[in-house]
Structure 1
């Protein structure tokens, strides 16, 4: 599963209460804060609503390596 690194890059001052609530629902408390969320349709929808306030980048997640048994 992919992870999204989201940065709150523009203030929500002057935008609607609904957009401010979306910023808060994503977990942002401060301007220029960066958080990571798992990629899901709900998160993508919130990002699309306030994309003009955010910077988004996709982070490749590493699969955990399986432990090799002795003798293999």
Structure 2
């Protein structure tokens, strides 16, 4: 299984509660924060929900 490098590129201001919860579940805290996320169907769904706020790079 490969990983994704996810970086928050935009502010979460103005986002709805589901998007805020998704960012928190991914482990993102602020603009410029980067985390490693395992490539699972659940993670892909979360990344799809906040795709306008993050940059995703494939590590695998």
- Choose between structure 1 and 2 for higher RCO, CA contacts under 8 A separated by at least 6 residues: 2
Do 2:11 and 2:30's aligned partners in 1 also have CA atoms closer than 8 Å?
A: no
- Length-normalised TM-score, structure 1: 0.79
The structure having more radius of gyration, on CA atoms, is 1
Alignment of 1:1-72 (within 5 A): 1-60=1-60
Instruction: List runs of 5+ in structure 2 lacking aligned partners.
Output: none
Q: 4+ residue stretches of structure 1 with deviation over 2 A?
A: none
- What's the RMSD between the two structures over aligned residues? 0.8
Q: Tell me the CA shift for residue 29 of structure 1.
A: 1.5
